[in-house]
Amino acid sequence: MSDESAGAGTRLRLDLWHPNCWAIQATERNSGGVLAHAVYDAPTMGDDESNGLFTAYGETEAEVEALLDAIEASPLTETVQELQAQFDTRRPRIAPDAVTREFFLEHDPTEMICPLLLEHGFVHAEPGRIEGGREEWHVRYAGGRAEIEAALDDIREQAGAEIAVESIGSVGGTAPRRRRDDALTQKQREVYETARKHGYYEWPRETSTRELAAEFDISKTTLLEHLRKAESKLLGDGGAR
């Protein structure tokens, strides 16, 4: 990789899982999802807890309520303080579903992947999305491309995490990548193209995994499996694993 590419910085979309995460556990067992805004108060004076700002989202009030109940009941969380209104009602909508509830959460920061990503030079470009028991992070990396895999390997080892690079490109541009349509199964191609057509890959997403799964009459887990396999094949020469 040239020095010019390294200097420009690299943008990545990471799909990951790691153990002992309240958000992963809650969304694995409940519909809806959580946005992590990556706003944390560093522990002080020997305190082991930090406060973070999050948004729970779902298609119905009952769905979001069940998700918040699961988060509050988790042994990995402490105080959940729900906010009555958005901090700024003028800011653009970032959650993919109709119902959203913002909340502060007191938790052990060592159980979240965000501080570890920052420690290794991956700066959050957008709120992290936790849905279906997986996390998605859009990050920027200021170092050289050659350093990325070593940094991710270190995070994998420290956190016991599974991390896949779903897309990679230079800041201000997109790295060339070859489509591998011939490597997709018919079902993977159908699911991927439908997801793309309905705005699943837009930010914010214009459809949910539940809606896509209903269209194919399959479970959300099966839909996500088809999508991840398709993405891995299509983006594999761009850094996916």
| pLDDT tens by residue, 68-120 | 999 999 998 888 888 875 544 444 445 555 789 999 988 776 677 888 898 99
- The angle formed by the CA atoms of residues 192, 124 and 24, to the nearest 5 degrees, is 60
Give the whole-angstrom CA distance, residue 59 versus residue 62: 9
pTM: 0.64
Helix 220-235 to helix 209-216 angle (10° resolution) is: 100
DSSP string, 99-127: EEEEEEEEE-GGGSSHHHHHHTTEEESS-
| 3-state helix, strand and coil shares in percent for the chain, rounded to the nearest 5 | 40, 25, 35
Structural domain boundaries of the chain? 3-170, 181-238
Question: Both tokens of residue 85?
Answer: 């209104």
- Give φ, ψ of 86 to 5 degrees: -60, 150
| pLDDT tens by residue, 6-38 | 345 889 999 999 999 999 999 999 999 999 985
| pLDDT tens by residue, 145-200 | 889 999 999 999 999 999 988 888 877 644 444 445 556 788 888 888 898 888 88
C-alpha distances in Å from residue 146, one per residue of 2, 98, 149, 152, 209? 10, 41, 7, 11, 34
Tell me if 37 sits within 8 A of 55, measured CB to CB: yes
Neighbours of 163 (CB within 10 A): 21
C-alpha distances in Å from residue 47, one per residue of 52, 158, 206? 15, 22, 40
